[in-house]
């Protein structure tokens, strides 16, 4: 058993030196074929081209915001304004601005499902605003 183990170890240690190429062979291989036929163990690289050049398409541009809806309020801090908010959101959905006026109290007493909104801006109107843009 002792003889078999030492023989196996000697063969295992000698195998990498036999199987590994010399430095000169590795340098010659890295230079490329240079008009010589490729060795049998290598395969040519595939020629892959991606068409169109930019495989993703640009994101769609949102529709213009051409409606402005001002949210009404009871302005008492007690009465639920959720219905007014939803009315403004429905009116300006798909291309509009929903504006909350500054200084007005809005009370949301009901949970609002806003998952249906698309292409809408929601903002606050400042007293010194010009066309909804704060100076």
Q: Are 133 and 123 a contacting pair, CB within 8 Å?
A: no
Q: Are 118 and 92 a contacting pair, CB within 8 Å?
A: no
Mean pLDDT for the stretch of residues 84-104 = 92
Q: What is the pLDDT of residues 96-112, one digit of tens each?
A: 999 999 889 999 999 99
- The confidence score (pLDDT) of residue 132 equals 47
- In the chain, how long is the greatest CA-to-CA distance? 99
Q: Is the pLDDT of residue 81 over 90?
A: yes
Pairwise pLDDT comparison (10 vs 61), residue with the higher score = 61
Q: What is the pLDDT of residues 9-54, one digit of tens each?
A: 666 666 555 556 677 776 766 666 555 655 555 555 667 666 666 6
3-class secondary structure, 1: coil
């Amino acid at each position: 058993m002792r003889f078999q183990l030492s023989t196996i170890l000697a063969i295992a240690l000698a195998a990498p030196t036999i199987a590994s190429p010399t430095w000169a062979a590795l340098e010659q291989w890295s230079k490329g074929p240079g008009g010589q036929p490729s060795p049998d163990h290598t395969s040519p690289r595939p020629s892959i081209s991606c068409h169109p050049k930019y495989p993703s398409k640009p994101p769609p541009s949102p529709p213009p915001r051409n409606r402005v809806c001002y949210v009404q309020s009871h302005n008492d801090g007690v009465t639920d304004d959720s219905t007014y908010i939803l009315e403004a959101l429905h009116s300006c959905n798909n291309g509009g601005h929903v504006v909350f006026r500054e200084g007005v109290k809005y009370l949301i007493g009901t949970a609002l499902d806003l998952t249906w909104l698309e292409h809408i801006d929601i903002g606050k109107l400042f007293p010194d605003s010009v066309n909804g843009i704060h100076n």
